[in-house]
């Protein structure tokens, strides 16, 4: 099977500059999937929820890992919990994977984003550095601006989608 060449837009989307998923959120799957107890008449009448735009802002570097929504969420969880282990648990990932991501983020920027407090009676923990706080704040603001910038076109695109 031959693959079609990628268009410029597709290449940009796959490269991770901006990823857009047109999938319904998992919380709405119950609205989409038919109830096995319903008959065929109700299947016809069932309405699907419209897809939800989920812009995903990422900035990859050829020589290093990318920074995107998953790492921003990890930073946010570390800031909220003061712990890499608790942040990992909250996100459903292993402690080892969270550590790998933190080390990668610390290498990606000129200054570390996360620093550790050593154990002892206070049991230690993790903190965002001032640079980490700034990266999270700016990334969050950029992601919100991306969602705002696409809102009008998304509404127009929704009107063109098949029911």
Q: Is residue 120 part of a domain?
A: yes
Structural domain total, the chain: 1
Q: Is residue 36 part of a domain?
A: no
Cα–Cα nearest to 22, from 40, 49, 62: 49
Q: Is residue 20 part of a domain?
A: no
DSSP 8-state code for residue 28:
G
Q: Is residue 139 part of a domain?
A: yes
Q: Is residue 51 part of a domain?
A: no
Residue 118: strand, helix, or coil: coil
Identify the CATH number of the domain in which residue 148 sits.
1.10.10.10
pLDDT in tens, 126-140: 999 999 999 999 999
Could you list the residue range(s) of the whole structural domain that residue 78 is in? Answer: 65-163
Q: Is residue 152 part of a domain?
A: yes
Whole-structure pTM value: 0.67
Instruction: Say which residue the tokens 């016809």 belong to.
Output: 44
pLDDT above 90 (res 48) = no
Q: What is the distance between the alpha carbons of residues 4 and 64, in angstroms, rounded to a whole number?
A: 29
pLDDT in tens, 75-90: 999 999 999 999 999 9
What number of other Cβ atoms are within 10 A of residue 52's Cβ? Answer: 14
């Amino acid at each position: 099977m031959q693959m079609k060449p990628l268009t410029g837009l597709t290449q940009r989307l796959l490269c991770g500059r901006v990823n857009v998923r047109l999938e319904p959120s998992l919380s709405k799957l119950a609205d989409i999937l038919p109830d096995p107890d319903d008959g065929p008449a109700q299947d016809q009448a069932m309405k699907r929820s419209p897809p939800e735009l989920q812009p995903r802002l990422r900035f990859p570097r050829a020589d290093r890992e990318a920074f995107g929504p998953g790492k921003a969420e990890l930073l946010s969880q570390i800031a909220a919990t003061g712990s890499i282990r608790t942040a990992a648990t909250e996100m459903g990932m292993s402690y080892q994977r969270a550590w790998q991501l933190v080390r990668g983020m610390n290498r990606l920027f000129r200054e570390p984003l996360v620093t550790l407090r050593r154990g002892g009676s206070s049991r230690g923990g993790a903190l965002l550095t001032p640079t980490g706080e700034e990266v999270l704040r700016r990334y969050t603001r950029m992601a919100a601006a991306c969602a705002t910038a696409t809102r009008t076109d998304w509404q127009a695109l929704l009107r063109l989608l098949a029911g």
